[in-house]
């Protein structure tokens, strides 16, 4: 179905980007399958009530002022689909799931609804960590001794699949650039080591100062998001104008697009080695992206939580939150849904309204400006961050909008083909190569961070925040997690319950923690011992080779003395002469019959 693009022009790092897209699509489909099989199918099987907001059963609430939306008349107005209003009574959102009391049915839909996001997150965590560990051996954090940087670049970087002259030239340019950058960096490091203490202090100070400025910018961007969300939530129901509905996603995208440009500009003002520049910019971009999503969710929840769970709902009236009519989970779900849609359409807009015209203009117009502008570069880190942000939004919305993974996988499917088209037709390769192995590790790491940013709020909501009284499955509980003790009390025997309580108590986890710390200590000390052993073995190897050549020299000297003819023995490397052809240590000599056994596949 999804083929890897033949993007040899652009390097294996970009191929790993498309592999990563495919991995995420499969992940989302599996999540959707899990949710639907655990929650939707049993709901349909048990002939539960039609999806829709529950009737007013609480005696706190007067009869509602607004008429309930007619279930049979679905709004086909396109606008309502985009804001999620038309779908708010379907299974897409939390609010429309309904179920009788727990004691009625065999199968606890509530338990399934609660546990399926948690299970999905746990499975995604395990899958991502496993993929990360596979690449752990080769990651860049290894010390110099075990990571032959330049040698591996020299021996491995040529891609033998390249067929066109043009691709070969581009590859040669990028390899040459990479060598030059690495050599420059090494010169720079040597220079820095020779600096005086005063210069070093000044360098450090400017580094810290730069980071603080960028940190302040990030904080500023995030507060802008907070205020924008608060503003748009306040006027949420009043008008349907485009600007207000999509204000928060718009501000988030603005911050996330301007931020990296600013960071890159600021970092370039200081004269850092190229690798440091790139790593610093990348680090702050990741921080900005994930914290903007976190702040968005936080401000949404603040609005919602402040107004629900309070007995005097009069204070919420000005904000448009009427406790009896509103379903705050639905509104959070709708916001995340809008953000998802907005991201996808923004990606389409960038691809077709900016990159494509740029390529057309650059190709057909001549002039200094257009030559300087050139086609757009396909920046792998930026694209990966966008995808990971989209996935984080999906994970955040698992509880409020259970069918969001299906939507996300459809979006990723289209994103794959749009990106492939953009890459092959409208972009040029970046002069900086992105190696596949380090790329995979970086993708998995950022994905893991996104998972963390998504899980923490979810766990907090599930365990502590009371749900709305008016909608959804958990309306009668103080927190969604309370379903679990109740379900256990209903369905399990007392002894089984005791076992589960034991697993949740401190007396179980403290010994486990102590055991884990012991294991960690043992592993660390083993790895330290291994490093020392490797050092020792290398020294031994050196001495043995020197001894060997020493013996050979002695031998040739003795033979010379006894034989009297001029020396025919080999010279040791220390005498700097070329080795004669008859001695090829450790290698089948050329001219010897080519043995078939080399081609024997593993016999």
Partner 1 sequence: MGSSTSHLSKELLTEYQELTFLTKQEILLAHKRFSDLLPQESRNMEDSLRVRVSTEQILTLPELKANPFRERICRVFSTAPERDSLSFEDFLDLFSVFSDAATPEIKSHYAFRIFDFDDDGTLNKEDLKQLVNCLTGEGQDTQLSTTEMKQLIENILEESDIDRDGTINLSEFQHVISRSPDFTSSFKIVL
Binding test (CB under 8 A) with partner 1, winner from 19, 51, 125, 159: 159
Residues 192-221 interacting with partner 1 (rule: CB under 8 A): none
Check binding of 567 to partner 1 (CB under 8 A): no
Of 158, 417, 502, 508, which one interacts with partner 1 (CB under 8 A)? 158
Who contacts 162 (Cβ-Cβ below 8 Å, separation ≥6)?
Answer: 8, 168, 171
Q: What Cα–Cα distance (Å) separates residue 327 from each residue in 89, 95, 465, 469?
A: 11, 7, 13, 8
Of 95-103, 183-191, 383-391, 520-528: span binding partner 1 (CB under 8 A): 183-191
String marking each residue 437-476 x if it binds partner 1 according to CB under 8 A: x---------------------------------------
The yes or no reply on residue 167 touching partner 1 (CB under 8 A) is yes
Residue pair 52/89 in contact by the 8 Å Cβ criterion: yes
Burial label for 299, CB within 10 Å (0-12, 13-18, 19+), is buried
Which of 541, 551, 555, 558: binder of partner 1 (CB under 8 A)? 541
Among 77, 498, 538, 550, binds partner 1 (CB under 8 A): 538
Min separation Cβ 186 and partner 1, Å: 7
- Closest by CA position to 211, among listed 138, 134, 151, 280: 280
Residue carrying structure tokens 């500009």? 265
Rank residues 180 and 310 by Cβ distance to partner 1 and give the closer one: 180
- 101 belongs to the binding site for partner 1 (CB under 8 A): no
Let me know: does 402 contact 35? Beta carbons within 8 Å.
yes
CB of 153 to partner 1, least distance (A): 9
CA distances from 579 to 265, 551, 554, 574 (A): 54, 16, 17, 11
**CB hemisphere CA count around 368 (13 angstroms):** 0
Least gap, CB of 543 to partner 1 (angstroms)? 9
> Which residues are CB-contacts of 130 (< 8 A; sequence separation ≥ 6)?
none
Per CB under 8 A, 162 contacts partner 1: yes
Q: Does the protein bind partner 1 through residue 371 (CB under 8 A)?
A: no
How far apart are the C-alpha atoms of 333 and 325, rounded to whole Å?
16
Instruction: Give the range of 101-109, 210-218, 385-393, 429-437 binding partner 1 by CB under 8 A.
Output: 429-437
Compute and round to an integer the Cα radius of gyration of the chain.
32
DSSP state of 37: I
118 to 157: interface string for partner 1, x by CB under 8 A: -----------------x-xx-----x-xxxxxxx-xxxx
Considering only residues 239 to 278 of the shown chain, the ones binding partner 1 according to CB under 8 A are none
- The reply to whether 189 sits near partner 1 by the rule CB under 8 A is no
- Residue 155 vs 372, nearer CB to partner 1: 155
Interface with partner 1 by CB under 8 A: which range of 74-82, 164-172, 458-466, 502-510?
164-172
Nearest-10 Cα torsion for 452, 456, 458, 461:
180
| Shortest Å, Cβ 603 to partner 1 | 9
- Pairing mode, if any, of strands 427-428 and 376-377? parallel
- For the CB of residue 303, give the shortest distance to partner 1 in the complex, in Å: 48
Both tokens of 509, joined, read 């986890």
Cα–Cα distance, 559 to 603 (Å, whole number): 43
Smaller CB distance to partner 1: residue 47 or 163? 163
Q: Dihedral, CA atoms, 357, 360, 362, 364, nearest 10 degrees?
A: -140
Taking the complex as a whole, how short is the minimal distance between the CB of residue 21 and partner 1, in angstroms? 18
| Minimum distance of partner 1 from residue 313's CB (angstroms) | 59
Q: What residue has token string 């309070």? A: 310
| Contact pick of 4, 6, 77, 173 for partner 1 (by CB under 8 A) | 173
The strand ranges marked E within 323-404 are 376-377
Rounded-to-integer distance, Cα 188 and Cα 276, Å: 11
Shortest Å, Cβ 589 to partner 1: 7
Give yes or no for residue 596 binding partner 1 (CB under 8 A).
Answer: yes
Distance between CA atoms of residues 493 and 187, nearest Å:
71
Interacting residues with partner 1 (CB under 8 A): 12, 135, 137-138, 144, 146-152, 154-165, 167-169, 172-173, 175-176, 179-180, 183, 186-187, 435-437, 538, 541-542, 544-546, 549, 573, 578-579, 581, 584-587, 589-590, 594, 596, 598-602
């Amino acid at each position: 179905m999804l083929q890897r693009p033949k993007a040899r022009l652009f390097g294996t790092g970009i191929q790993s980007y498309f592999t990563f897209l495919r991995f995420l699509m499969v992940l989302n489909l599996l999540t959707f399958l899990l949710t639907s099989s655990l929650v939707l199918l049993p709901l349909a099987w048990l002939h539960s009530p039609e999806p829709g907001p529950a009737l007013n059963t609480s005696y706190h609430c007067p009869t509602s002022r607004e008429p309930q939306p007619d279930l049979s008349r679905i709004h086909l107005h396109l606008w309502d689909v985009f804001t999620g209003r038309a779908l708010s009574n379907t299974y897409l959102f939390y609010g429309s799931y309904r179920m009788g009391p727990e004691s009625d049915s065999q199968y606890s839909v509530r338990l399934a609804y609660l546990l399926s996001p948690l299970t999905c997150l746990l499975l995604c965590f395990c899958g991502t960590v496993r993929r990360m560990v596979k690449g752990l051996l080769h990651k860049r954090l290894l010390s110099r001794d075990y990571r032959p940087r330049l040698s591996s670049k020299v021996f491995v970087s040529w891609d033998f699949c390249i067929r066109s002259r043009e691709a070969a030239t581009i590859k040669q340019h990028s390899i040459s650039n990479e060598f030059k950058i690495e050599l420059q960096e090494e010169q720079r490091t040597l220079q820095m080591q020779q600096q005086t203490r005063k210069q070093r202090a000044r360098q450090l100070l400017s580094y810290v100062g730069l980071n603080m400025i960028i940190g302040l910018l990030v904080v500023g961007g995030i507060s802008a998001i907070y205020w924008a969300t608060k503003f748009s939530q306040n006027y949420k129901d009043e008008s349907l104008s485009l600007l207000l509905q999509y204000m928060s996603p718009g501000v988030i995208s603005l911050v996330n697009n301007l931020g990296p440009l600013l960071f890159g500009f600021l970092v370039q003002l200081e004269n850092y080695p190229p690798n440091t520049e790139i790593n610093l910019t990348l680090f702050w971009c990741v921080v900005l992206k994930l914290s903007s999503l976190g702040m968005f969710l936080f401000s949404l929840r603040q609005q919602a939580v402040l107004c629900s769970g309070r007995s005097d709902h009069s204070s919420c009236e000005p904000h448009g939150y009427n406790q009896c009519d509103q379903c705050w989970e639905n509104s959070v779900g709708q916001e995340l849904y809008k953000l998802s849609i907005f991201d996808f359409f923004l990606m389409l807009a960038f691809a077709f309204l900016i990159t494509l015209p740029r390529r057309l203009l650059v190709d057909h117009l001549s002039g200094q400006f257009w030559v300087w502008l050139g086609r757009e570069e396909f920046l792998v880190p930026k694209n990966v961050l966008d995808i990971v942000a989209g996935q984080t939004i999906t994970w955040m919305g698992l509880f409020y909008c259970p069918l969001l993974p299906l939507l996300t996988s459809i979006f990723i499917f289209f994103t794959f083909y749009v990106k492939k088209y953009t890459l092959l037709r409208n972009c040029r390769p970046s002069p900086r190569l992105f190696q596949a192995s380090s790329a995979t590790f970086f993708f998995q790491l950022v994905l893991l961070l996104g998972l963390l940013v998504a899980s923490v709020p979810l766990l907090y909501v599930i365990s502590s925040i009371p749900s709305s009284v008016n909608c959804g499955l958990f309306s009668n509980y103080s927190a969604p997690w309370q379903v679990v003790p109740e379900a256990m009390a209903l369905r399990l025997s007392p002894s089984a319950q005791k076992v589960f309580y034991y697993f949740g108590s401190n007396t179980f986890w403290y010994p486990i923690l102590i055991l884990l710390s012991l294991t960690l200590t043992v592993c660390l000390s083993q790895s330290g011992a291994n490093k020392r052993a490797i050092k020792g073995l290398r020294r031994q190897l050196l001495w043995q080779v020197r001894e060997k050549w020493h013996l050979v020299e002695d031998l040739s000297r003795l033979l010379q003395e006894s034989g009297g003819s001029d020396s025919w023995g080999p010279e040791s490397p220390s005498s700097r002469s070329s080795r004669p052809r008859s001695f090829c240590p450790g290698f089948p000599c050329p001219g010897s019959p080519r043995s078939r056994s080399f081609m024997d596949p593993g016999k």
